[in-house]
Chain A
């Protein structure tokens, strides 16, 4: 009897359990754990990723901005900094990181992962006549972001582009897949720039002709970014061409006469309603670049004419410190520095290229166009072609660029490219009492080292220092 029971009941029970279990188990378990966690499938999921603030924040400019000469800090302020990376970057120390992470590298490659994730995802969504527009826009935006990040990282971690050596100089690891199991070694600088140009070229084709919000890239932004890339490469013809195309799509220049330049923050928050902004992005906030420490060198300050409204709009006299500090953030907050693209910047690119290519009239015209919008209405006097020697045009244009693009992350890029020209090259100095730190124009320290954790994990070749 007992044997019978065991023989019958146990298999019977097990059979019942198995049938019940397997039939419903897959459906029962095939459920997301968290509702806001979504396995991305639809285009709207990818749009939501590209709409995230991460794609507009933490642009990798910090090392360059900290290391350049828009500002200076006192020794006491410097000693009070808690982040050793910022301290070291300020004096271009040999060991920049002291074991800490490199936020520029991490933030740049994080956006590249997003771009790759979106490109792969959108590619797997079949194109239909109804989704083509959105699909193109998302692909275009992903290419824009990837190209832009590669470009910005190149400025920090690679040598200045030189056509002659570009195919030997070290570029970036060109990570173009979200698969973390794939490994990419450093490419040549030439390959890196070809990737940047290819990405941005695709973006100019795919992106729409109109801006919806200033945090989403559109065609004018892609042309503007491309213009910046060509300018950095020294390809002035192409840079002129792209800047011109961008200006054809977006040409509004903000007239500072319409602003109350005296207030603490003259520009609207987040570039809201500032039609000069083609694309909005900002840098990470670093205590070293906090408003209390942004001391402006009096030489730079004095280059602004008193009739130039930028002088009032950009600077504020800090009575406690007895020095001028910066307040002209296009972000509308002192917490973050704007690093996005503006029509005024495109004018500057176009005028510089015109000057370099010998179209002096065009350069002067663009210069006057910009100045008209920057100078006090009653005091604006156009620069006359007759009043300026031809060889001074470039210098005037570059000086205008220096003034307009202060604290936009452009200074490091400009210093790097201008250092190639012996007439423009300059060394930077940091002076703490008797101690003087120098960054000479031909120093290898214009290339920041790759963060140590990246080198250890990825086995990349480190930059010389």
Chain B
């Protein structure tokens, strides 16, 4: 301070003109004084803040100078001081996010959108916080153009919540399709759920070559850059508190169409019985209905009793039972608090967060604690040292019993879980009740499975702990030149512990199965404890030098160059199991006999005791990269940018590491509206951008060296063994994605309408694909029990598309109405691939691993033609031009050319429309999302499965062909006397079961209310916001008439979620 005063005195002496300046800072909106606004004098580098009444005082002002006034959430005001001012009343305008200067972060540098040539999408803090969620990625859905967000199909399973993200479609065939995620300048390899969304400042999505190529061999699928919050030099600490509670409805178990109503299901079992489809050994598990029919058949009960008993079963519905005993309303709670502040040479940000989720499956839950501390220090002028520490601890309880865990994957629908008093009932699981009931008599343990008792005993917990430490130093070498070094250490540990207590069915079943005729127990009494875990550690280092300069007022250069080392290690501990475990005193039985074969009940076939132990695996990935990047602007009209990056890795082959060519990009931008010849009344701004360049995609599953894999065990000799994994591929390289991007950014009608239009073409080459090799070489390809890799870099793929992003400010008065529209189109085509000519035709009609065909999209959906049902209810197929029922010859003569190319299973068109209404301090927004142009294959009744071991039913069974004439109204085949998979396939693979996937859904609604400052000031806080949010609100329109959500191929759709929250800023 002394230094400054001396400096000022000196200046006053030399410049003569000096004065004292005072005044107040107000909000232009509310006309209220602003407390803690920062004032800076540019020339003299003096700064101060306003006091409790919004007043400030600057002791010495030398004229001329410029005064900058900052306040968070308001636009910086610049006031030139040319003559001696007196009292200044300064009114700050609120920051309008729409016209804010956008700064995009590539993970290597931050640059203003104006000077970027590449394609970026920036999700700012407001937009990011519009959604309420525990995780981060789900907040990108529907607000990012070109990002397709698909939840994987789980085919009747519990719906997944981890999406498959594709940025601008596919750029690989066999490689990883997920974009690279960067958190605070370095790739993030952990679980994204470990990032507390409350710590996130903004997200930038890098979509084209020019923006992403700085990430080189990992950027082929696009890059998502996450920037976390940091401290400010506002002096006054800001405390932010945010909490929300979200409720998740019970899942709709009646959604899945595979279940028949209980009355029909019971009747159908008569058919099973008459076909002899029931277990005949005295231990075979049969459903209760079959047991009744068997008893009737054996004369143990009479027909009237049997019918009564069967009718009794029809009263129960597992979906209702499970709905009340296994599922509940989910409740997620989130609390986050952060403090930030600092001074001119020290800034800090401290935060902590607590999440506690109770899933809608009873027994499942998730807890997370996150702590982070970020410090920026300027110990001497020109040097900035920055450190941050993040610590996350989480715990996942996995004790729930889903409807699918009950008995196989296809429980009988009239199953009862509890009796009238709510006491747990046993269900039929592995063995017949009459067999199990004898267990106690013959010295075995109780052998019944009672789901509700198990629910209380389950003890399955996964814990995770992550530490991430970042350190960096940046030094200003001389004007415009800066050098910086970064280092990040990350360590993640996960461990899972599953304790099957002695009383659990799992343990009782293992003990009983192995109990010998003489009563000896090779599997001892006591619990079974399974443990497994893995650890990930990484060290990243980077050294970089950059230059930012401008001269003659017209030229501006930003350039940087650097190199980077990355080391990542992933150790999986494998798993271990101990028997006879006592959780109280931590003892277990060590002298287990895992080597002998024992006859096991009920069949007395011989088996070893499964020892549940595996050795684990260990991976190391290392990268060395050199990179450089420059941008030159002339007169703010023209910008030229370029980048180059070279990567070497232990993944790539020796030859490639030595000879590899760098990845590069070039781009140009032209602000056409700045040209003197461009005269328009209605266009405010127009800019053209063109980029071209290449990114890579490292395929980590393939090896460059010949190698053998240890970790096998000869099933006969039990000797440890190894297999050949690869005969070697010294030319292995990254996959290369070359992208052209053409774009126009525009703003018209006084910024009432603005946005961008982008066209791109991605040419992926050098892709990994299976080679066709003569099997006589011994290399048959992966899968089906073969282990030797036959994949090389050779295939090509092309994807092209359009991204349109338009925002309009429809009403801009006291009430505001804003609309954001996103539209994306993307399609892909395989341009070079060695398709296996002998691929069985059935594989094209399957649900997964559909063969890749040159000339078609990777997402191609195929079907066979549908000719309806014949007079007997059998599907018609065309053999030699004649319609008939010869399914065997139809399928054996079916050629790839005969298949209908229905369309793609991924939507080529998708987008969203978000309307935001603001009136005073209330704001509400609705996001409508739509997808179109894609197809899906729905399930239906497959008699071969119905009468097979899975007994898989489907409601379409009810609308099957039953009487002559039905063929005119139904396409569901009749129930055949003898099942014939080919007959079923003539229906299930036909176009009769493919449906358009087009639909529009109300994705979410957000309403928020900010308390007026009058009130907040009275209670001593600067901001209070209340908000509500609802998600998964359902489909508004869909193309298909069936009651199917095209996005949901699971047991139930994601249930409605409603959240309420409160945010307070001090």
Contact = CB atoms under 8 A, between A and B. Distances in A.
Contact of B720 (A5, A48, A99): A48
Interface in A352-385: none
Given A36-B617, A53-B712, A9 B838 contact: no
A113 interface: yes
A286 interface: no
A38 B722 contact: yes
A386 to B, nearest CB: 45
A444 interface: no
Contact of A28 (B565, B597, B604): B565
Contacts of B840: 99-100
A34 B606 contact: no
Given A25-B648, A29-B657, A113-B724, A37 B786 contact: no
A451 B543 CA distance: 57
A183 B776 CA distance: 9
A352 B619 CA distance: 57
Contacts of A320: 280
A110 B780 contact: yes
A423 B20 CA distance: 128
Interface string A433-459: 000000000000000000111101110
B650 interface: yes
Contacts of A178: 727, 778
A48 B721 contact: yes
A175 B776 contact: yes
Nearest to B713: A53
A28 to B, nearest CB: 6
Nearest to A16: B543
A39 B706 contact: yes
Given A31-B650, A33-B651, A454 B714 contact: no
Contact of B621 (A33, A40, A454): A33
Contact of A20 (B563, B622, B648, B707): B563
B622 A28 contact: yes
Interface string B823-845: 00000000000001111110000
B978 A76 contact: yes
Interface stretch (B476-484, B493-501, B526-534): B476-484
A84 interface: yes
Contacts of B776: 105, 109, 173, 175, 184, 454, 458, 460
Contacts of B772: 457
Interface stretch (A136-144, A228-236, A262-270, A401-409): A262-270
A36 B717 contact: no
Interface in B761-811: 772-780, 785-786, 788
B716 interface: yes
Interface string A102-118: 10011001111110110
Given A49-B722, A51-B719, A113 B706 contact: no
Interface residues of B, number: 79
Contacts of A29: 622, 624, 648-650, 657
Interface in A236-294: 264-265, 268-272, 280, 282
B772 to A, nearest CB: 6
Nearest to A112: B778
Contacts of B618: 34-36
A31 B620 contact: yes
Nearest to B706: A39
B980 interface: yes
Interface string B622-655: 1010100000000000000000000011110000
B440 interface: no
A48 B708 contact: yes
B778 A110 contact: yes
A173 B597 CA distance: 42
A101 interface: yes
A180 B779 contact: yes
Pick from A52, A175, A454 the residue with the most CB of B within 10 Å: A52
Contact of A109 (B477, B711, B778, B785): B778
A400 interface: no
Contacts of A2: 480, 549, 551
Nearest to B563: A17
A38 to B, nearest CB: 5
B650 A32 contact: yes
Nearest to B608: A269
Given A36-B709, A175-B777, A21 B563 contact: yes
Given A36-B709, A320-B280, A215 B719 contact: yes
Interface string A285-310: 00000000000000000000000000
B382 interface: no
B837 A453 contact: yes
Nearest to B615: A36
A276 to B, nearest CB: 16
Contacts of B773: 180, 457
Given A34-B618, A79-B980, A109-B776, A52 B721 contact: yes
Interface string B1012-1053: 000000000000000000000000000000000000000000
B955 interface: no
Contacts of B714: 51-53, 56, 215
A332 B722 CA distance: 25
Contacts of B543: 17
A33 B700 contact: yes
B421 interface: no
B198 interface: no
Contact of B606 (A40, A113, A332): A332
Contacts of B477: 9
Pick from B481, B727, B775, B839 the residue with the most CB of A within 10 Å: B775
Contacts of A324: none
A114 B605 CA distance: 33
Contact of B705 (A39, A45, A216, A269): A39
Contacts of B480: 2, 5
Interface in A150-186: 173, 175, 178, 180, 183-184
Interface in A45-98: 45, 48-49, 51-54, 56-58, 76, 79, 82, 84, 97-98
B710 interface: yes
B980 A269 contact: no
B707 A17 contact: no
B892 interface: yes
Contacts of B978: 76
Contacts of B622: 28-29, 31
B78 interface: no
A54 B481 contact: no
A76 B892 CA distance: 19
B722 A99 contact: no
B616 to A, nearest CB: 9
B712 A52 contact: yes
Nearest to B778: A113
B619 A35 contact: yes
Given A56-B714, A106-B780, A101 B624 contact: no
A323 B720 CA distance: 42
Contacts of B717: 51, 56, 213-216, 270
B838 A101 contact: yes
B708 A38 contact: yes
A115 to B, nearest CB: 9
B850 interface: no
B722 A45 contact: yes
11 contacts: A21-B624, A21-B626, A28-B622, A33-B650, A35-B619, A36-B711, A51-B720, A116-B778, A269-B597, A453-B838, A454-B774
Interface of B: 280, 477-478, 480-481, 483, 543, 545, 547, 549, 551, 561-563, 565, 567, 597, 604-606, 615, 617-622, 624, 626, 648-651, 657, 700, 703, 705-717, 719-725, 727, 772-780, 785-786, 788, 836-841, 892, 978, 980-981
Given A37-B725, A117-B724, 4 more contacts: A21-B563, A34-B619, A53-B715, A454-B774
Question: Which 7 residue pairs are nearest across A and B when measured between Cβ atoms?
Answer: A113-B778, A35-B618, A48-B722, A458-B774, A52-B721, A457-B774, A215-B717
